[in-house]
């Protein structure tokens, strides 16, 4: 199978709004889509992930992606795809 897909759920456990400012990939093989960019306290968003094996340039290609938010305690989170 040349393509794989999955999803990651993000829940705002804080008191204020959580803003997802950016999703950054490190490989052209990874495509991301987000259903919501601002989460109120307790809300959840889904990041859909699609990986196209044909677009992986080398074995060293990182399929991980970075989530940048307005969270003062964790403004950046690296998500590993395995």
Q: Write out pLDDT tens, residues 18-69.
A: 999 999 999 999 999 999 999 999 999 999 999 999 998 888 888 999 999 9
Task: Record the pTM.
Answer: 0.88
Which of 24, 44, 27, 26 minimizes the C-alpha distance to 36? 44
Which of 45, 46, 62, 63 minimizes the C-alpha distance to 4? 63
User: Contact, 51 vs 32, CB < 8 A?
Assistant: no
């Amino acid at each position: 199978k040349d393509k794989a897909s999955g999803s990651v759920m993000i829940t705002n456990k804080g008191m204020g709004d959580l803003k997802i400012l950016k999703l950054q990939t490190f490989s052209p093989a990874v495509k991301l889509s987000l259903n919501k960019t601002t989460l109120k306290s307790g809300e959840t968003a889904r990041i859909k992930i699609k990986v196209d094996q044909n677009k992986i340039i080398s074995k060293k290609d990182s399929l991980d992606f970075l989530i940048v938010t307005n969270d003062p305690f964790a403004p950046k989170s690296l998500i590993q795809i395995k």
